[in-house]
Chains A and B, each alone.
Chain A
Amino acid sequence: MSAIAPTLVPAVTTVGNPAINIGIFALFVVVTLAIVIRASRNNRSAAEYYAGGRAFSGRQNGIAIAGDYLSAASFLGIAGAIALNGYDGFLYSIGFLVAWLVALLLVAELLRNVGKYTMADVLSFRLRQRPVRIAAAISTLVVSFFYLLAQMAGAGGLVALLLGIEGAVGQRIVIAVVGVIMIFYVIYGGMKGTTWVQIIKAVLLIIGAGVMTVWVLGKFGLNLSSLLGEATTASQEGGGKDLLQPGLQYKNPIDFISLSMALVLGTAGLPHVLMRFYTVPTSREARRSVVWAIWLIGIFYLFTLVLGFGAAELVGASEIKNAPGAVNSAAPLLAFKLGGEILLGVISAVAFATILAVVAGLTITASASLSHDIYNTVVRGGDATPEEEVKVARIAALVLGAIAIVGGIFALGQNIAFLVALAFAIAASANLPTILYSLFWKRFNTRGALWSIYGGLVSAITLIVFSPVVSGKAIDPVTKKSPSMLQGVDFHWFPLDNPGIISIPLGFVLGYIGTVTSREYNAAKYAEMEVRSLTGHGAEAATHH
């Protein structure tokens, strides 16, 4: 390690050995492809393609959920945020974790009993099919698209650091390669293949982070307090602040409260998370999935706390900031400091696998919604055969994959955390109110659902467009650029970075007003839905071979 370190400092374009990084990643791709091909021999029925035949166990699905949820933003973003902003980065991970209790207590099991393949199945169950399905599908596509862009943009930044590919053309090629592999997983493997990729990735990610955590703690005598102390000292000696003080990253209290609301309420409205509950045979297994997911995600975030402070001490803030991937490079740089080229190669391969697995999950969700909600219900009036639906879903996955590649190329250099927080805010504003009203409020009806979905969606996006994240932030004296998306213009009038504090309550209020101003009520469908949601009578069963 020390032999390489001196040559490393001048050549900041790359860390470690790109050949090893690519080699380990290629190995991951080959192994997962073999498993996907093996696992997906019979993927013709819609239940196989969309829901993996509902044959995964709660434990398998829980691991896959962790693989789906621990995205590049979670792993690289949070570790980096803790390394640079200490306590404030930690706050982020707590919102992401506590959010799972909403899914566990209020959503997962009932949704599993009521729905079939998509979020729209549940939302439109007792309401007027056509308009509600279209609204739910649009919201699914928008949330998935922003989440997808964030992951693809993250891939580009990672490439710069790990493979030494710095030119724009090289990064675009890598995004395209990642996109093409992902499209193959989804089209060929369907939900079954996607799930296995997520399971393998989650296991690798958690083991990798666990090994690094023990390693870091070992360097500080297994004493968290001394790790924190030395990290803080290192940060202050480097001209930084006391990492243990709140408020380094979030200066405006209202902005932080807004973000916290979006984080804690967004998870249970993310369509790609909800769709995972259909891959298990019963609501009991859906519960088991969430229990596994909460333990794995929680333990992983505890690891990131150690990794972040470890990076602050062992790598140092200035080296992180000057690395090509900036804040996102804290975890890979720490891996290099600890275990040299090999550990860096493993961790980078895991980071790529992370992006691949999350993007595959998003693509299958969006393609299922396009085919099952838009094509079958709206275009074909519910008459499409399952074979036809799956064929359309595969074509949709191909098109969406292509859009993701192009979008990822344009999103290069965008702030990943901002895009993910936007997806969470939209999910919490447009999806969660309708999910909860639909499951728990007898009186709820079509107008309430439409007002809530469209109102939440439009208000969240509008507030984002006119927020400082898009335009008008003061120019940073160090980088000579504005942290906003657009440079040189300023049309912002909304003061906050995250719209949640306005758009989430608005989604709930509009759902309420829309409902009470409409007389529609379908007693028979409500009875069917409520009995089914609580007892499981009539719920979709697993397919058998």
Chain B
Amino acid sequence: MSKDAPDRVVDDPNVAMQNSDEFAELRSRFRRFVFPLTALFLAWYFLYVLLSVFAKDFMGTRVLGNITWGLIFGLLQFVSTFVITMYYARWADREFDPRAEALAQKMGGHHK
């Protein structure tokens, strides 16, 4: 691992796997799931941060008793974090793992 690999890549099984259609499918499946979700939660988080610093009057308005909009939005950040966590874990267990596992078996199992 610490030595550089040879430049010869033609008969390298990793390169062959990387160039295969099934691996390209696995990669794009993964990226299509996690990248938009990352963009979504970062946008939602920074929206909350920006509202807290630039819309202080709105965030400080009391809605239900002493519960303010700021508190509601803040608690919704907790809710969204928990929901995204479970959504991803479910997807990864059901959709991603079996496919990744199948490709690992093709390469000869998990271990070299």
User: 8 Å CB contacts to A: which residues of B1-45?
Assistant: 1-9, 12, 14-15, 17-18, 23, 26-27, 30-31, 34, 37-38, 41-42, 45
Contact among B8, B74, B84, B110 with A539 in the assembled complex (CB-CB below 8 Å): B110
Complex contacts, B56 vs chain A, CB 8 Å: 245-247
Pick out which of these stretches binds chain B: A145-153, A166-174, A530-538. A530-538
Q: Compute how far the CA of A537 lies from the CA of B111 in the bound complex, rounded to whole angstroms.
A: 6
Chain B residues with CB under 8 Å of A253's CB are: 53-54
| A294 at interface, CB cutoff 8 A | yes
A3 adjacent to chain B (CB < 8 Å): no
Residue A91 interfacial (CB < 8 Å): yes
Q: In the bound complex, what is the Cα–Cα distance between A257 and B26 (angstroms)?
A: 36
Interface segment, one of A223-231, A333-341, A461-469, A508-516: A223-231
Residues of A within 8 A of B (CB): 87, 90-91, 94-95, 97-98, 100-102, 104-106, 109, 116, 125, 128-129, 224-226, 228-229, 232, 242, 244-247, 250, 253, 256-257, 260, 264, 282, 284, 287-288, 290-291, 294-295, 298, 301-302, 377, 382, 440, 522-528, 530-532, 534-539, 541
Q: Which residues of chain A have C-beta atoms less than 8 A from B37's C-beta? A: 105
Query: Which residues B62-80 have CB closer than 8 A to chain A?
Result: 62, 64-68, 70-71, 74, 77-78
Task: List residues of chain A with CB within 8 A of the CB of B49.
Answer: 91, 95, 256-257, 260
CB < 8 Å neighbour of B9 from A256, A440, A527: A527
B48 to chain A, nearest CB (A): 7
Cα separation A102 to B28 with both chains bound (whole Å)? 18
The 8 closest A-B pairs by CB, nearest first: A225-B65, A253-B53, A524-B5, A527-B14, A228-B66, A382-B2, A527-B18, A245-B60
> Which interface class (under 10, 10 to 19, 20 to 34, 35 or more) fits B?
35 or more
A106 to chain B, nearest CB (A): 6
- Chain B residues contacting A284 (CB-CB under 8 Å) are 92-93, 97
Let me know if B45 and A534 touch, CB within 8 A. Answer: no
Known pairs A101-B84, A246-B56, A246-B60. 6 more at Cβ < 8 A? A244-B68, A284-B93, A440-B31, A527-B9, A527-B18, A541-B111
A295 touches which of B14, B52, B82, B100 (Cβ 8 Å): B82
A residues near B23, Cβ cutoff 8 Å? 531, 534-535
A interface SS class: helix
Is A226 in contact with B66, judged by CB distance below 8 angstroms? yes
Q: Which residues of B contact A264 (CB under 8 A)?
A: 42, 45
Binding site secondary structure of chain B: helix
A527 CB contact (under 8 Å) in B17, B50, B85, B86: B17
A291-B86, A522-B5 are known contacts. Are A228 and B67 too (CB-CB below 8 A)? yes
**Which residues from chain A contact B74 at a C-beta distance below 8 Å?**
87, 90-91, 94
**Can you sample 26 A-B contacts with CB below 8 Å?**
A87-B71, A90-B71, A101-B84, A101-B85, A224-B67, A226-B65, A228-B66, A229-B65, A242-B60, A244-B62, A246-B53, A246-B70, A247-B56, A264-B45, A294-B81, A295-B85, A302-B78, A523-B15, A524-B6, A525-B4, A525-B5, A528-B12, A528-B14, A532-B14, A535-B23, A536-B110
